[in-house]
A and B are shown apart, each in its own frame.
Chain A
Amino acid sequence: MQPRLTRAEQEAVDYGIDLNLLLLNLELTVQQRIEQHQRALDMVNELKKNFDRLHGIPPESSQNSD
C-alpha cells in the first residue's frame, strides 16, 4: 500500500513533479547535488549547441539564464 501523500507532496505530484526524483536528490550530499547538476547542465548545453548548429542558430542568441 502506498503511503498517504502530504498536501505539499500532492500539490507537487499534481503539477507533474517527479516526487521520486526529488526524494532521491535529498539522499545526496550538497557536493553530490552540485556535481549532479553540473553533469545535467553540461548535457543540456551540449544538446542546445547541437540543436543550434543543426538549425543555423548563432551561438550567443539562444543563451538564457535565471
Chain B
Amino acid sequence: MESLLNLLKILTESDIDFVIIGGFAAMIYGSSQVTQDIDLCIAMNPENIEKFRKTLGPYHPVHRMTPQKLSFLKHPEELKGIKNLYVKTDLGVLDILGELPGVGSYSEIASRAIDTEFLGHKVKLVSIDDLIKSKKIVGRPKDHATVLELNVIRERLKK
C-alpha cells in the first residue's frame, strides 16, 4: 500500500545521506499543503544510486517518467552523469535531485540544512531560506501558497 510515511521510514533506516526538499519538506516545517511525493537532494554518484536500488528494491521501483515504466533496478546501466531520478515505488513517488536549480548543489544545500528527527533517526531538512527560494523559482500557484505559509513559519521560528 502507498504510504509516504513508510517510504520515509525505509529511507531513514538506510545508510543514504540525503536532504528532504520540496513540498514534503514544507509539510515538515508546518505547511498545510498536501503533497503526493517525497523530494530528496543527494550527492548524485554511482555509489549512492546503488544504495537507492538496494533500499528501494523490494518496492518495485520504476522510472515514472518513461512510458514503459522501466525498472529503476536495471536502468540506466551507466550510472555516471545522471542529474535527476523520478521513481515510482509501491510506497509512493520519490524524486531524487542532484541539485536544486537556482539554489545550489547537494553539498551547498546540505551545508545549510537543519537536522530533525523521525522515528529516532536523524534526518536532514533543507533550510527554510533555501526552500522558499526553490519554491519561488518553480513558481506554480501551489508553490506561491506554500511560500506564503513558509514566510509565516519563518517569522515564528525567529521568535
Contacts and interface: CB of A to CB of B under 8 A. Distances in A.
B32 A41 contact: no
Interface stretch (B52-60, B76-84, B98-106, B116-124): B116-124
A64 B11 CA distance: 22
Q: Would you call the interface of chain A mostly helix, strand, loop, or mixed?
A: helix
Contact of A15 (B22, B36, B37, B148): B148
B151 A30 contact: no
Given A15-B145, A17-B148, A44-B34, A30 B4 contact: no
A66 to B, nearest CB: 5
A65 B149 contact: no
A63 B119 CA distance: 29
Interface in A18-59: 18-19, 21-23, 25-26, 28, 30-31, 33-35, 37-38, 40-42, 44-45
15 contacts: A8-B154, A8-B155, A22-B153, A23-B156, A30-B116, A30-B118, A33-B28, A37-B5, A41-B4, A41-B34, A65-B35, A65-B36, A65-B93, A65-B95, A66-B95
Interface of A: 6, 8-9, 11-12, 15, 17-19, 21-23, 25-26, 28, 30-31, 33-35, 37-38, 40-42, 44-45, 63-66
